[in-house]
A and B are shown apart, each in its own frame.
Chain A
């Protein structure tokens, strides 16, 4: 009898483990290939998202009360700094408008209707974040009903933050750039060298210790100045061109055949995201 029970427990454990492995394999496959998750996943996610909005409300209220107090204390100092910048902003706006007009005219002359830089926006707020060190994922409040597409680039108010990995009806998951994961879809980016040529590469990794993105797969040997802006190149995939990723922090030249790596200070803060924008390329 004793032996029988031992066997039964062993069988249950083994079956549990096998089912678990199968589920993991299945969900990674869905995540990498298919456009929408299965019905069960999508239904469960929509239901969970709905409940989460209710549960999250008081916590967010407490947090925003704290944030407003901190804002209030900083306001005077900030105001003085901003005053100095306001004048130059007005001038820049005027220049921008002129340039945009000129750009539109030139495009018309070339009969160029669509370009890589054009995209439409969907604004969403962040409902939740995975309580996990290994998946830097947030859940946002818009899904396929609002037109979010899997693989779209997502921006915060300051710059690129990540990519949509799963779309449900009323919410979707965004994998942040700070995720270090073999299967994540890397962004094609570009940066201007000192000589003026454009260097293309991919965001290949993230450095946890220094909070910097690493740009790899670079073939060019041109020198890059510190502080140069890095933007998405729009090559391949669904990312629009010209989204700000960050600024060059340092360049690590590979000797002995190793490729060059460029370390980038990200423009966006990956831990302070309340509103995000999903971009949809128009072509």
Chain B
């Protein structure tokens, strides 16, 4: 009974998180994209990491790939970036998490490392295919810092609701 509920709710929440990222970015674009800051909302990753740490959901890696594919398809139009990066980050989290217990601070640190990794790799791929010519310092000051701050805030706000949701299922 318990495992069948997570079977449907996990993918559902995954796609809601995926679309919320875009909608939040659109609705708050005047604040999130200015000359000084560029914030990338990563609720999708938050959902995946919380699922890795606190739920019995199956095939998380596969779902990460599917969500990554839809991210590429719908937002950027360049297939093949998130479809690889997202499962990679989730895989690394799964491997790392075996050595820890799920306290707030541990998951927070894991999540921050994941966000950093994902943002950095996303930047590297984009500069490789000629979609940006921003330097590393610009990237760190304009994108990475604000993105980490925003996602940290989101993590703190959503940690308890998501944890209790996953543990109930």
Contact = CB atoms under 8 A, between A and B. Distances in A.
Given A24-B129, A28-B129, A209-B35, A17 B84 contact: yes
Interface stretch (B70-78, B101-109, B157-165): B70-78
User: Size band of the B side of the interface?
Assistant: 35 or more
A16 interface: yes
Contacts of A270: 33
Interface stretch (A92-100, A133-141, A253-261): A133-141
User: Could you say which of A31, A41, A52, A179 has the most chain B C-beta atoms within 10 Å of its C-beta?
Assistant: A52
A191 interface: no
A134 B29 contact: no
A145 interface: no
Nearest to A13: B88
Nearest to B34: A271
Interface residues of A, number: 57
Give the secondary structure class of B's interface.
helix
A133 B79 contact: no
Interface in B38-53: 38, 40-42
User: Could you say which of B30, B32, B80, B132 has the most chain A C-beta atoms within 10 Å of its C-beta?
Assistant: B80
Contacts of B76: 130, 132, 135, 137
A273 B75 contact: no
Contact of A134 (B69, B73, B122): B122
A55 B19 contact: yes
A24 B76 CA distance: 11
Nearest to A27: B79
A20 interface: yes
Given A44-B73, A138-B26, A165-B77, 5 more contacts: A41-B79, A63-B28, A127-B22, A180-B134, A208-B138
14 contacts: A17-B84, A20-B80, A24-B80, A31-B78, A44-B70, A44-B73, A45-B74, A56-B19, A60-B23, A131-B75, A134-B132, A208-B138, A271-B30, A271-B34
Interface of B: 15-16, 19-30, 32-35, 38, 40-42, 69-70, 72-81, 83-84, 122-123, 125-126, 129-134, 138, 142-143
